[in-house]
Amino acid sequence: MPSVIDSSPATIRCTNCETEFFQRLGRCPGCGQLVSTPSSRMVLSLTVVLIFAGFGLTQCLVKVHRDTESALAVRWFTRGEQAMQAHLPATAADCYRTALSYDPENGQYRLHLAQALLADNRLAEARAHLSSLWDEEPADGEVNLTLARLFERRGDYSKAVRYYSNAINGVWNDEPRADRIATRFELANFLLQQHKLAQAQAELVAIQADGPANPADQLLLGNLLLQVNEPQRAIQAFDAVLQSDPNSAQAWLGKAQASLVLADYKEAEHAITNAVDRDPKLSDARRQLEVVRELLRLDPALRGLSLVERSQRAAEAFELAMKRINSCATQQGITLTSQNSSASTQSAGSAGSPNSPAQDELQRLYAAAMQKQSSATEKALRKDPDAIEPTMQFVFDVERETVAICPATDKGDRALLLLAQHEGEAVK
């Protein structure tokens, strides 16, 4: 009787050539095709599933790792920003380095590290990072601006200007127009520090042509235009501020200074009045207003004055000049009378010590004033109007010469000195 274990081997039929053979052979003897059994297919399917599951798990773990590193990088970068705001550039640089260790390809982190190193005066390290960034993005506005600041710190004028120009014409991400205007302002200030007035003037004119919409920029522009001797353009900038904010005391004050440069004293008086009305704390402006009003009262060259008024003003200005000579001599302990002057000169000569330059100058002015005194009265000037201008020239000479010896404190003298300074600039 046959045993249970003696059961005949299982046979299968080849799906390719229909040949029947024992399953244990694993391959068809007719065509050589491999035998695919349900168990092998199951093993294969399970293997594929496990591979994909492992790949997915790996990807998930990689993402978690990257997210963790990114979060750490952001955290350290934020600490670096806080350190920079606290004016701790060395600490900030360490924080930025740590942020870069978690995110080495982040250009923003590298740029901020370079800026922190620059602020910490570690110029060589800063330049190395900036050069690398510039090689990658030569048109980047902020990289070029930082390079300009670096070469400015190193005293390399030509390279600083070059990189400032690159920044102005470069690529900016957030607010390109505002960033370019701010960079041009920075370049203009740098040029002013280098006493390059013509170049600074060109940059400021370019800013004005661009028409900055921010009133603060217009106010800054007006003040800088005054520094480069562009009072008319400065007035345009201050007027732009006043159009949006008529109560801006600083804009009124700036307009007043520009009007004074242009010798437009009535407009200056109007502008200073508006400035002090809007800001009573402007004590210097209030004193300047008193001087300008005194100038308007004394100036014989104002339009529309009659001969009588011009003569009165010139005669009063001459009297103020006489008082200025005498008061300055008193302050310096100098005697101006010819007899005493001669005696003092002889005494000084016998002692072997000559007169001081101040004494010689004041005595010269006093002698000239005594010669002009009779022709500088109101009556004499009305009879001879052509003498008004030479009389005022002498007054201006007195004010210019004496200010180097004695500071002008009286508002009348300060008004005449202001007139003298403008008259001298007009002659030039």
pTM over 0.85: no
Q: What is the pLDDT of residue 426?
A: 53
Low-confidence ranges of the chain (pLDDT < 50): 1-6, 339-352, 427-428
Q: What is the pLDDT of residue 339?
A: 41
DSSP letters, 196-218, are -HHHHHHHHHHHHHH----HHHH
Q: What is the pLDDT of residue 196?
A: 96
Domains of the chain, each with CATH number or no CATH: 64-136 (1.25.40.10), 138-205 (1.25.40), 212-298 (1.25.40.10), 308-340+357-427 (no CATH)
Total length of the chain: 428
Question: Which residue, among 127, 100, 102, has the nearest Cα to 114 in the 3D structure?
Answer: 127
DSSP letters, 329-388, are HHHHT---SHHHHHHHHHHHHHHT-PPPHHHHHHHHHHHHHHHHGGGGSHHHHHH-GGGH
In sequence order, what are the beta bridge partners of 22? 11
Q: What is the pLDDT of residue 356?
A: 84
139 CB-near residues (< 8 Å, 6+ apart):
166, 170, 171
Q: What is the pLDDT of residue 71?
A: 83
| 370-388: pLDDT as tens digits | 999 999 999 999 999 999 9
| 172-205: pLDDT as tens digits | 988 899 999 999 999 999 999 999 999 999 999 9
Helical residues (DSSP H) of 169-248, grouped into ranges? 176-193, 197-210, 215-227, 231-244
* Cα 261 versus chain centre, distance: 23
Q: What is the pLDDT of residue 217?
A: 94
Q: How far is CA 319 from CA 133, 165, 358, 392, 400, in A?
A: 70, 56, 21, 11, 16
Q: What is the pLDDT of residue 72?
A: 83
368 CB-near residues (< 8 Å, 6+ apart):
394
In sequence order, what are the beta bridge partners of 140? 171
Is residue 228 within 8 A of residue 255, CB to CB? The reply is: no
Q: What is the pLDDT of residue 102?
A: 86
Q: What are phi and psi of 139, to 5 degrees?
A: -100, 0
